[in-house]
Amino acid sequence: MTRPLGASTFIWTSPMRDEELWLCGHLAQMGFDVIEICVETPGMLTAPAITKAAADAGLAVSVCGAFGPSRNISSEDETVRAQALDYLRHCIDLAAEVGSPHVAGPMYSATGLARPLPPHERLAERERAAEGLQVAAEYARRAGVTLAIEPLNRYETDMINTVEQGLSLCQAIGAPNVGLMLDTYHLNIEETSVGDAIRLAGDRCLHVQASENQRGIPGAGHVPWQEVKDALDDISYAGSIVIESFIPTIEEIARAVSLWRPVAPSSDELASTGRAFLASLEGGVA
């Protein structure tokens, strides 16, 4: 099975804006099928501009969110939870307008919260996350969009680190249009077996991001890529595989993901070399 390959706008820029949509043509020239657009500042991106740029380049669009402290749907602060829902509704509307099948990301909390909470506080936090995401899931269902929840490693969240925990949250939300986004970087840190974790996700796996163990070029580290491919084949995953990485010159993101050095000679080399590796792994044209 040869799956569509994509690249995240985070590899080149942040925050993404209409003026940076030249990246659509750039990705197409590299041979990508999908552009993953990260919605950090909603007012900087418009659906008509995205739709035209992607169509002109022959690319599909994937939408992912950015979840900082003001977008924490599990917060004790009702105002913050409301802001998180408003943001998710915006991302869902954008996804529906540009043809993205999903909104993806760690939408259950704020990235970077890693605390040793007492059990009762942790349970209450998860219950607030599930309650808020139930509302978001119903809104997404009416728009024809799925929610792909991303487990993150223990240094970036204390809530959902593993596929098992992600599936538990999906069950608590109880909506058929909610599943998981699996990122090889986080899987490689948190799972005992990357392949078994993917198989456990099964048909709840809605989206996949590819990154190396050091968040660099796929194929240049020790992520068990053949195991990843075999497991995706076993669950008949037919969605896209999107390379996600970051550039350390963007200080806010670098701080959030603890990126203190370049992980590739350039953004273009990370994307093009990574794509060639993934295409070869998938059995397509490098």
Q: What is the model's pLDDT at position 241? A: 98
Q: What is the model's pLDDT at position 144? A: 98
Q: Is pTM, for the whole model, over 0.85?
A: yes
Task: Say if residues 64 and 90 touch (Cβ distance below 8 Å).
Answer: no
For residues 198-220, average pLDDT: 97
Q: Is the pLDDT of residue 253 over 90?
A: no
238 contact partners, CB below 8 Å, separation of at least 6: 1, 3
Phi, psi of 96 (to 5 degrees): -60, -40
Mean pLDDT of the chain, nearest integer = 95
What distance in Å separates the CA atoms of residue 178 and residue 169, rounded to the nearest whole number? Answer: 10
Q: What is the model's pLDDT at position 251? A: 74
Q: List active site positions.
A: 150, 244
What is the domain range of residue 79? 5-282
Residue type, 262: P
Residue type, 225: W
Q: How would you classify the pairing of strands 60-65 and 102-105?
A: parallel
120-177 pLDDT per residue, tens: 999 999 999 999 999 999 999 999 999 999 999 999 999 999 999 999 999 999 999 9
* Cα-based distances in Å from 46 to 37, 143, 283: 11, 17, 35
- Looking at the 3D structure of the chain, how many domains does it have? 1
Q: What is the model's pLDDT at position 1? A: 67
CATH number of the structural domain spanning residue 153? 3.20.20.150
Q: What angle do CA 131, 133, 135 make, to 5 degrees?
A: 80
Share of the chain above pLDDT 70, in %: 98
Q: What is the model's pLDDT at position 249? A: 73
Q: Is the pLDDT of residue 285 over 60?
A: no
Q: What is the model's pLDDT at position 257? A: 81
